[in-house]
A and B are shown apart, each in its own frame.
Chain A
Amino acid sequence: MSNDTIDVAAIRRDFPILAQTQDDKRLVFLDSAASSQHPQQVLDAMNDVYLNSYANVHRGVYQLAERATSAYENARKSVARFIGAPSANEVIFTKNATEAINLVAQAWGRANLGPGDAVVLTLMEHHANIVPWQMMAAEIGFEIRWIEVTDDGQLDLSNLDQLLDGAKVLAFTAMSNVLGTVNPVERLTAAAKAAGAITVVDACQSVPHFPTNVVEMGADFVAFSGHKMLGPSGIGVLWGRMEMLDAMPPFLGGGGMIVNVTRDGFSADAVPGKFEAGTPPIVEAVGLGAAVEYLENIGMEAVRKHEVELTAYTMRTLTERLGDDLILLGPSEPAARGGVFSLAFADVHAHDVSQVLDEHAVCIRPGHHCAKPLMKRFDMNATARASVYIYNDTDDIDALADALVAARDFFAL
């Protein structure tokens, strides 16, 4: 059914959790940017491993172990296909995107960064793409430079060349989890390349929602999490160019990542094994593989189109219903953003908004969204963030608007 429109009603039937009510109200789940829900197909694929094919991978010679290994490796192939990776071996399974970024910062960073070097980040990064670099900066003594953010939530690229001058790394998010801003990935990776810096793209919010091709992105490393793209928690991905991965030292040490160990030392396995120490999240990987296949069946072009339409509807509806009472951070053009809406009332705190929304069975996220430097840039402690995915429709947005009106009126100061 891979055409360019999606049938939300049919999709919703695949998500058992969305059928529930809360105090007799339809559950309105608008927190997919934090973690998404799971279609029956993903649950079935995982259950099938547990029921029929579970064993540790890459070890046993019995048939059960062979089946578990091939299910795990097939998931790697599915993910590679989904992101346009030239080779499935470039797909490294991690615990989540956070671990993937730490892997790069530590393994690549220790081997390649020195005192006096510079790493360029943007002010709209999630803490997952800030703290790992700050930890290494404390250890090694390199400089961290920041790409600023404009008032309408875009990267300020006016001094990009200057920031990149002499830099070794440019690490940035493909889409902001707070502002919804879709960043010009190819322009950034090209500029970094020209300046001799490697690029690390935090694709947590883009891979679940856009067609992705890591080669076209032009990045050296791309990190994302399974649990934001219909997969289970506990599984994430680091994609890296084989040349980079090959040249890097391993990250964690242990079983599964070696070819040989003696009293004197070890030799590391080839990629991807080199970066997958210990028993991996086997069933979670299979779940992610199933999630990817589910998304492929819908078609990522269709997913994106649906979300742009729903974004336009959301922005229109919130403006109509709440006007100037409500502040929406980020770009004003729906096509320039993803389906993430950081909302703030001048006088009602995000926690209180979320509490009233919960009364209406509307699930959104209050807080700083793990992006404190960005929040500070906008002089805010917290926003209420609503985010949409393939199973959300205009009814969900209408319920959000009703609940926001109720919150405003409840706290009318």
Chain B
Amino acid sequence: MAGLEDLYREIILDHYRSPRNKGELETPPAHRTEGFNPLCGDEIVVYVDTDDDGNVNDIKIGGQGCSISQSSASMMSAAVKGKSVEEARQITSAFKRLMSIHETSVGGDGSEAEADDLEIDPDIKLGDLEALQGVVKFPTRIKCATLAWNTLNQAFDEIDEA
């Protein structure tokens, strides 16, 4: 039986207590996407500002959620800010892999199929995000951890389509 300490690492609680990049960006130029966790009602809003060269100039996170979804969103924002959209997608895939979400997995969140479409660059380092690995032992919480990432991916897709 996994203990609470496996789930709630200090770094997670730190991001929960002092979330990074919390707030809003003006739209346009930024793009706004909402994500919902239908199970618990949590809502997240991701604002991303990408430039013509395909870089994530700025990102802000809004909405409410539990410590896992909020800290995951906070760490995500720190991990992708200043990176290229391509790199940000790679980090997303690597994170989903950390959450044990593979193309063949069942019991994921339904939107994981694209996660493995990308070859993940072995140089991608998840850093602090590794602290979320304990979530895997609590299957119902995986959706909390991936909410922000799925929303970011959706934002990128919407930007691509625009």
* A residues neighboring B (CB under 8 Å): 23, 349-352, 355-356, 359, 366-368, 372, 375, 381-382, 410-411, 413
Contacts and interface: CB of A to CB of B under 8 A. Distances in A.
Interface string B124-143: 00000000000000100100
B94 interface: no
B66 A367 contact: no
Given A355-B7, A356-B4, A410-B4, A382 B67 contact: no
A375 B141 CA distance: 21
A381 B42 contact: yes
B62 interface: no
Nearest to B1: A23
Contact of B66 (A23, A349, A359, A368): A349
B41 interface: yes
Interface string B1-38: 10110011000010001000000000000000000000
A382 B42 contact: yes
Interface of B: 1, 3-4, 7-8, 13, 17, 39-43, 64-70, 138, 141, 144
A369 B4 CA distance: 25
Contacts of A381: 40-43, 64-65
A375 B41 contact: yes
A49 B8 CA distance: 48
20 contacts: A349-B66, A349-B67, A350-B40, A351-B40, A351-B65, A351-B67, A351-B141, A352-B68, A359-B4, A367-B39, A367-B41, A368-B41, A381-B64, A381-B65, A382-B40, A382-B41, A382-B42, A410-B4, A411-B67, A413-B17
B146 to A, nearest CB: 14
B161 to A, nearest CB: 27
Contacts of A23: 1
What DSSP secondary structure best describes chain B's contact surface? mixed
The 4 closest A-B pairs by CB, nearest first: A368-B41, A351-B66, A349-B66, A381-B41
A352 B67 contact: yes
Contact of A355 (B17, B41, B43, B138): B138
Contact of B65 (A349, A368, A410): A349
Nearest to B138: A355
Contacts of B138: 355
Nearest to A347: B17
A352 B66 contact: yes
A379 to B, nearest CB: 10
Find the residue from B41, B65, B68 having the highest chain A CB count within 10 A: B41
A356 B13 CA distance: 14
A410 B9 CA distance: 12
Given A359-B4, A410-B8, A413-B17, A351 B68 contact: yes
B127 to A, nearest CB: 23
Contacts of A366: 40
B4 A355 contact: yes
Given A355-B4, A410-B4, A413-B17, A350 B66 contact: yes
Give the interface centre of A351, A359, A368 by most chain B CB atoms within 10 Å: A351
Contacts of A368: 40-41
A146 B42 CA distance: 24
Given A351-B40, A381-B43, 15 more contacts: A351-B42, A351-B65, A351-B68, A351-B69, A351-B144, A352-B8, A356-B4, A359-B3, A366-B40, A381-B41, A381-B42, A382-B66, A410-B4, A411-B67, A413-B17
A23 B3 CA distance: 11
Nearest to B40: A367
A381 B69 CA distance: 13
A35 to B, nearest CB: 16
